[in-house]
Amino acid sequence: MSDLLKASWSGYLRPDGRKGIRNLVLVIYTVECAQHVAHAIAAGEEDVHVIGFPGCYDNAYAIRLMLALARHPNVGAVLSVGLGCEYTQPEKLAEVVRASGRPAEWFFIQQAGGTKSSVAKGKEIIAGLREKILTETPRVPMSLADLTVGCECGGSDGTSGLAGNPTVGAFFDLLVDAGGRAVFEETVEMIGLREHMLTRAANGEAKQQLADAYDKAERYCRAVRQWSVSPGNFAGGLTTIEEKSLGAFAKGGTRPIQGVIRVAEQPRGPGLWILDSVPDEHFMQFGFTNPNDTEGIMDLISAGAQIVLFVTGRGSVIGSPIAPLVKVTGNSATYRAMVEDMDFDAGRVLTGELPLAQAGQELAALLVRIAKGEPSKPEALAHREYFIMYKHQNTPGLEAGCRA
């Protein structure tokens, strides 16, 4: 334990003082029409990751999310690529990224001459950006106190709440005690736990934020008549949303909750935080909250998480760009069956083979190795799934209607 607290490695210092565990170039496309070119630019370039927004009409939430990812501590430089007629402006994205002290470039495909010319131009730009960040990024010592770690769960079964999430909870306690930041989300999977959640608030302000986030999540589920449980959850033995919620909340460990952040916001201090990714009520109604695990992972990375834990009982093969995804399963059979994708077997907690506190420490040791540069399984497999969609958060109130 004390060894983990003393663990130190070399990180990448960003101009805002945050430290990265990777030094990546990020390519961002601003409409689906530019998606192929963006991926072709990044093809074969291990340290170049891609995100993008498919819509032609822009969306303030999606822009904030992309800018939070572009200014993530693991990102050193950015290239944004547009087709040339969409609403989202690649030039503005590049400007904001440059203002953060990172090198950034942009271009329109229509002005570069088409697919092949754009790919060649993009490859040349990223070679220049890579050279710049490799030579100019300051290296600094880093420890657990400099880490923000997110946690998402997906493909949950009866073991997730028993072993997978409690193991993450034990690790989160350790990370918070070390001065780091722990973030978990999925307030639609806290349904049924209102009173229980409020007792965990660090102070009155945090309590109010938790109550507001909970009440919105319940209004959302009632309004859209969809609760966050899927056929696979039921087949895996979960019967009700309340049961899934109790298991999901176990990933929050036992430390006080400092408050609620929204997508693209950074935790306002060290400690344990809840991320609210549920859409706000809006003149277009709620829309949809995260329709898959990948959007939740994007949201956690947008909070500055340099590493994201993904708890899955049934097994999943997704990964993520920007921040390594680490797969934890509470189901030892799933671990054995999908060992090529799974990073950590928390099922040993259930059989009594491994005490929970020790599981948390083992997970912390794995994360330290990954922070030092060892790739996680999804990272080594080059899984880079991303998902950025229309959503309304922090938009003007209902009464403003379409004049907003």
Q: Which residues bind another protein (CB under 8 A)?
A: 157-159, 161-162, 191-193, 196, 218, 221, 225-227, 229-243, 246-247, 250, 313, 331, 333, 350-352
Closest C-alpha to 356, from 169, 150, 180, 183: 169
CB-wise, 88 or 228, nearer to another protein?
A: 228
Residues 6+ apart with CB under 8 A from 150: 182, 183, 184, 185, 275, 297, 300, 301, 303, 305, 307, 308, 309, 323
Residues 6+ apart with CB under 8 A from 107: 81, 82, 90, 118, 121, 122, 125
Query: How far is CA 21 from its chain centroid?
Result: 15
Smallest separation (angstroms) from another protein to the CB of 170: 15
Whether residue 229 contacts residue 238, with contact meaning beta carbons closer than 8 Å, is answered with yes
Token pair 């007629």 in the structure block, residue: 85
Token pair 């639609």 in the structure block, residue: 188
Instruction: Identify the H or E element spanning 67.
Output: helix 60-70
Smallest separation (angstroms) from another protein to the CB of 242: 4
Smallest separation (angstroms) from another protein to the CB of 171: 19
- How many CB atoms lie under 10 A from the CB of residue 357? 14
- How many CB atoms lie under 10 A from the CB of residue 400? 11
Smallest separation (angstroms) from another protein to the CB of 321: 31
Strands (DSSP E) contained in 221-284 are 257-262, 271-276
Smallest separation (angstroms) from another protein to the CB of 230: 8
Smallest separation (angstroms) from another protein to the CB of 225: 7
CB-wise, 11 or 236, nearer to another protein?
A: 236
Would you call 77 exposed, middle or buried from its count of C-beta atoms within 10 A (0-12, 13-18, 19+)? buried
CB-wise, 192 or 321, nearer to another protein?
A: 192
Whether residue 148 contacts residue 238, with contact meaning beta carbons closer than 8 Å, is answered with no
* Max CA distance (Å), the chain: 63
CB-wise, 20 or 161, nearer to another protein?
A: 161
CB-wise, 110 or 240, nearer to another protein?
A: 240
Instruction: Identify the H or E element spanning 108.
Output: strand 104-108
CB-wise, 43 or 333, nearer to another protein?
A: 333
The DSSP-derived string for 12-55 is EE-TTS-EESS-EEEEEESSGGGHHHHHHHHTT-TTEEEEE---
Smallest separation (angstroms) from another protein to the CB of 243: 4
CB-wise, 59 or 245, nearer to another protein?
A: 245
Token pair 């420890």 in the structure block, residue: 143
Token pair 């690529």 in the structure block, residue: 81
Smallest separation (angstroms) from another protein to the CB of 288: 16
Smallest separation (angstroms) from another protein to the CB of 165: 11
CB-wise, 28 or 221, nearer to another protein?
A: 221
Question: Could you give the residue ranges of the DSSP H alpha helices within 250-329?
Answer: 293-302
- What is the C-alpha to C-alpha distance for residues 258 and 267, in angstroms, rounded to an integer? 9
CB-wise, 227 or 344, nearer to another protein?
A: 227
CB-wise, 250 or 298, nearer to another protein?
A: 250
Smallest separation (angstroms) from another protein to the CB of 260: 21
